[in-house]
């Protein structure tokens, strides 16, 4: 099958998914023409073998010479920026986090030949508004960058991890404040926050953290710097016992998903894309208490052409109760055996096979 791919090759979440797709295409000995979004080839987060790097560079060099607009193209990108296309036959894989698609977003979806979302919740929203070209493909476990480390990091305490860029949508402030009320300065528990937002200046990140903590110190709450290298991030994920996933809206929740797939216990909001992989067997679930507007005047601005609508909320007491139940699971068995099954259920081979079937 002759086709091209148009995707970001970088160290952020989109880039992580891109690399996983490219690896599997390489393993299948396929040779799509590669058009890197932003003309950027950043391998810094990956442990890449030379053959893969050479394959990416070679197929990227061929794209401007050999690509034809009649070639099918697979694009991995935000809705904002996906009306543009190098092909008359573009299939878009994107992620949507809210619940009220704008007329601009609907027009972009309808002007792509096929549109794939990783979240069933997102698919249902767009289908309810008349989009007939919607497909669902779940994301996958990245076995090339993440693996279980048999190391006893903190045998005397239960460690919680909190991840994702610091912002309102991910509910970091509410999560940390609630956790501190219950576990703050208790030596049996520790909260590791990898929530540095690279879109903010260092002093702005620190100012937000100080505001959340109300300028108080807690010896069992730590804030880690930005981790670009997957090897370091894998170590961080392995160092916890419980991952917290209470974001108000996600297209999948890669960090939380990988943690659970590595055998970590979890406290997960029973909403949006989380529901596609988290269940009562592999996670301690918290039902949402309602919804509220997502606007933060930074990433989500009211009356914009993109990212309009609401995110899920949760009750603080329900969250704390779930944390306590997750601790009980840890005390019974530090390894989440049900979570480990996610590696096979959501394999990268299955994900790419699904993509290729849609491109046929």
pLDDT tens sequence across 205-255: 999 999 999 999 999 999 999 998 999 999 999 999 999 999 999 999 999
pLDDT of residue 305: 98
pLDDT of residue 39: 80
pLDDT of residue 228: 83
pTM, 2 dp: 0.96
C-alpha dihedral over 265, 269, 275, 278, to 10 degrees?
0
Spell out the domain ranges in the chain.
Answer: 3-140+347-359, 158-345
pLDDT of residue 2: 87
CA contacts within 13 A on the Cβ side of 100: 15
352 close to 144: Cβ distance less than 8 angstroms: no
- Residues lower than pLDDT 70 in the chain: 1
Q: Are both 3-140+347-359 and 158-345 of the same fold?
A: yes
**Cβ count near 72 (within 10 Å):** 20
pLDDT of residue 1: 65
Q: d(Cα 156, Cα 330) in Å, to the nearest integer? A: 12
pLDDT of residue 40: 82
- Residue 141 CB partners (closer than 8 Å, separation 6+): 257, 258, 261, 342, 343, 346, 347, 348
Closest residue by Cα to residue 20 from 104, 168, 141, 126: 141
- Residue 199 CB partners (closer than 8 Å, separation 6+): 165
Q: d(Cα 347, Cα 300) in Å, to the nearest integer? A: 32
Q: d(Cα 201, Cα 218) in Å, to the nearest integer? A: 23
Q: Which CATH architecture has domain 3-140+347-359?
A: 3-Layer(aba) Sandwich (3.40)
Burial of 102: CB neighbours in 10 Å, binned 0-12, 13-18, 19+ = middle
Domain range 158-345, its CATH number among 3.40.640.10, 3.40.50.2000, 1.10.287.110, 3.40.50.920: 3.40.50.2000
Q: d(Cα 145, Cα 47) in Å, to the nearest integer? A: 7
């Amino acid at each position: 099958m002759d086709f091209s791919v148009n995707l970001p090759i970088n160290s952020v979440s989109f880039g992580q998914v891109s690399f996983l797709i490219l690896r599997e295409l390489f393993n299948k000995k396929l040779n799509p023409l590669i058009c890197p979004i932003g003309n950027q080839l950043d391998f810094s987060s990956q442990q890449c073998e030379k053959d893969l790097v050479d394959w990416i560079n070679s197929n990227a060099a061929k794209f401007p010479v050999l690509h034809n607009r009649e070639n099918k193209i697979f694009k991995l990108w935000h809705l904002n920026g996906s009306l543009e296309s190098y092909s008359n036959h573009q299939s878009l894989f994107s992620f949507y986090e809210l619940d009220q698609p704008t007329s601009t977003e609907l027009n972009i979806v309808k002007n792509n030949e096929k549109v794939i979302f990783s979240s069933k919740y997102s698919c249902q929203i767009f289908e309810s508004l008349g989009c007939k070209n919607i497909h669902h493909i779940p994301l996958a476990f990245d076995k090339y960058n993440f693996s279980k480390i048999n190391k006893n990091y903190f045998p005397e305490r239960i460690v919680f991890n909190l991840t994702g860029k610091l912002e309102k949508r991910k509910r970091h402030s509410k999560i940390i404040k609630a956790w501190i009320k219950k576990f703050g300065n208790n030596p049996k528990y520790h909260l590791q926050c990898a929530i540095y937002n690279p879109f903010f200046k260092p002093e702005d990140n620190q100012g937000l953290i100080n505001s959340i903590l109300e300028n108080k110190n807690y010896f069992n709450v730590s804030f880690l710097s930005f981790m670009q290298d997957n090897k370091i991030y894998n170590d961080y994920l392995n160092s916890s016992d419980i991952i917290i996933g209470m974001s108000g809206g996600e297209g999948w929740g890669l960090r939380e998903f990988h943690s659970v797939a590595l055998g970590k216990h979890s406290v997960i909001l029973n909403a949006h894309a989380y529901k596609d992989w988290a269940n009562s067997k592999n996670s301690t679930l918290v039902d949402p208490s309602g919804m509220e507007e997502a606007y933060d005047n930074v990433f989500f601005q009211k009356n914009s052409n993109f990212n309009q609508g609401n995110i899920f909320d949760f009750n603080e007491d329900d969250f704390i109760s779930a944390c306590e139940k997750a601790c009980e699971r840890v005390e019974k068995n530090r390894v989440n055996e049900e979570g480990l099954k996610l590696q096979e259920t959501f394999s990268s081979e299955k994900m790419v096979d699904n993509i290729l079937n849609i491109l046929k």
